Amino acid sequence: SFGTVGCNLFCQFCQNWHISRASTEDFRYSLKKLSPKEAVKEAVQSGCATVAYTYNEPIIWYEWVLDTAKIVHQKGLKNILVTNGYIEEEPLRELLPFIDGVNVDLKGDKGFYKEMCGVTRQEAVLRTCKIIKEQNVHLEITNLIVTSKNDSNKQLQELIDFVVTELGSDVPLHFSRYFPNYNIDLPATPVDTLFKARDMALRSGVQYVYLGNIRGERGNDTHCKNCGTLVVKRRGYITNTVNLTKDFQCKNCGTPTDIVWN
The helix (H) or strand (E) run that includes residue 39 is: helix 36-45
- Answer yes or no: do 43 and 165 share one domain: yes
pLDDT at residue 75, as a whole number? 97
Rounded Cα distance between 75 and 258, Å, is 26
Q: Please state whether 7 falls in left (phi above 0), alpha (psi between -120 and 50) or beta.
A: beta
- Answer yes or no: do 233 and 211 share one domain: no
172: CATH: 3.20.20.70
Rounded Cα distance between 52 and 100, Å, is 10
- Answer yes or no: do 25 and 112 share one domain: yes
122 belongs to a structural domain? yes
pLDDT at residue 262, as a whole number? 66
31 belongs to a structural domain? yes
pLDDT at residue 29, as a whole number? 66
- Answer yes or no: do 243 and 142 share one domain: no
Q: What pLDDT tens digit does each residue of the chain (262 aa) get?
A: 999 999 999 999 999 998 898 877 777 767 889 999 999 999 999 999 999 999 999 999 999 999 999 999 999 999 999 999 999 999 999 999 999 999 999 999 999 999 999 999 999 999 999 999 999 999 999 999 999 999 999 999 999 999 999 999 999 999 999 999 999 999 999 999 999 999 999 999 999 999 999 987 689 999 999 999 999 999 888 899 999 998 899 999 999 988 887 6
User: Is the Cα torsion angle 235, 191, 170, 2 positive or negative in sign?
Assistant: negative
Q: Which residues pair with 177 in a beta bridge?
A: 145
244 belongs to a structural domain? yes
Edge-to-edge order in the sheet of strand 222-223? 222-223, 230-235, 238-241
pLDDT at residue 43, as a whole number? 97
| pTM given for the model | 0.95
- Answer yes or no: do 117 and 186 share one domain: yes
Total domain count for the chain? 2
pLDDT at residue 23, as a whole number? 77
- Answer yes or no: do 144 and 181 share one domain: yes
The helix (H) or strand (E) run that includes residue 92 is: helix 89-95
Q: Please state whether 151 falls in left (phi above 0), alpha (psi between -120 and 50) or beta.
A: alpha
